[in-house]
Structure 1
Amino acid sequence: MSATIFARQDDRLGQFALRRVDPDTDAELLHRWLTHPKSVFWLMQNAQLTDVQEEFRAITASPTHEALLGLHNGRPAFLVERYDPATEPAGAAYDVRPGDVGMHFLVAPTDTPLHGFTRAVITTVMELLFADPATRRVVVEPDVRNRSVHALNAAVGFRVERTVSLPGKDAYLSTCTREQYAPAAAAAPATTRSE
Structure 2
Amino acid sequence: MTFTFRPLDPLKDAELLHSWLTHPKAAYWMMQDAGLEDVERAYMEIAADEHQQAYLGLRDGEPAFLMEKYDPAHRELVGLYDPRPGDVGMHFLVPPTDRPVHGFTRAVITAVMAYLFEDPAVERVVVEPDVSNKAVHALNEAVGFVPEREIQKPEKKALLSFCTRDHFFDTHSRNRHSLTATGVTA
Shorter-chain TM-score: which interval?
A: over 0.9
From 34, 50, 58, the equivalent of 1:71 is 58
Counterpart amino acid of 2:64?
A
Structural RMSD (CA): 1.4
Shift in Å at residue 194 of structure 1? Answer: 4.8
Report matched runs for 1:128-143 at 5 Å: 128-143=115-130
Structure-2 residue corresponding to 1:158: 145
Structure-2 residue corresponding to 1:83: 70
3-state DSSP class of the match of 1:180? helix
Rounded Cα–Cα distance in structure 2 between residues aligned with 1:192 and 1:148: 23
How high is the TM-score relative to the length of structure 2?
A: 0.94
Rounded Cα–Cα distance in structure 1 between residues aligned with 2:65 and 2:42: 17
From 159, 162, 168, the equivalent of 1:175 is 162
3-state DSSP class of the match of 1:92? coil
Shift in Å at residue 91 of structure 1? Answer: 2.6
3-state DSSP class of the match of 2:89? strand
Structure-2 residue corresponding to 1:117: 104
How high is the TM-score relative to the length of structure 1?
A: 0.89
Rounded Cα–Cα distance in structure 1 between residues aligned with 2:174 and 2:129: 24
Shift in Å at residue 27 of structure 1? Answer: 0.1
Counterpart amino acid of 1:22?
D
Rounded Cα–Cα distance in structure 1 between residues aligned with 2:62 and 2:87: 30
Q: Which runs of 5+ in 2 are unaligned?
A: none
Pair 1:58-2:45 in alignment: yes
- Runs (4+) of structure 1 moved beyond 4 Å? 187-190
Counterpart amino acid of 2:13?
D
Deviates most, 175-184 or 28-37: 175-184
Rounded Cα–Cα distance in structure 1 between residues aligned with 2:176 and 2:121: 25
3-state DSSP class of the match of 1:85? coil
Shift in Å at residue 167 of structure 1? Answer: 2.1
CA contact (8 A) 2:67 2:93 kept: yes
3-state DSSP class of the match of 1:152? helix
Structure-2 residue corresponding to 1:16: 3
Change (3 A) 1:26 1:164: same
Counterpart amino acid of 2:147?
V
Q: What number of residue pairs does the alignment pair up? A: 182
From 32, 38, 41, the equivalent of 2:28 is 41
CA contact (8 A) 2:114 2:181 kept: no
Q: Which runs of 5+ in 1 are unaligned?
A: 1-13
Rounded Cα–Cα distance in structure 2 between residues aligned with 1:24 and 1:34: 15
Report matched runs for 1:88-107 at 5 Å: 88-107=75-94
Counterpart amino acid of 2:58?
L
Deviations 1:49-93 (A, max 9, x none): 000000000000111100000111111110000000011231311
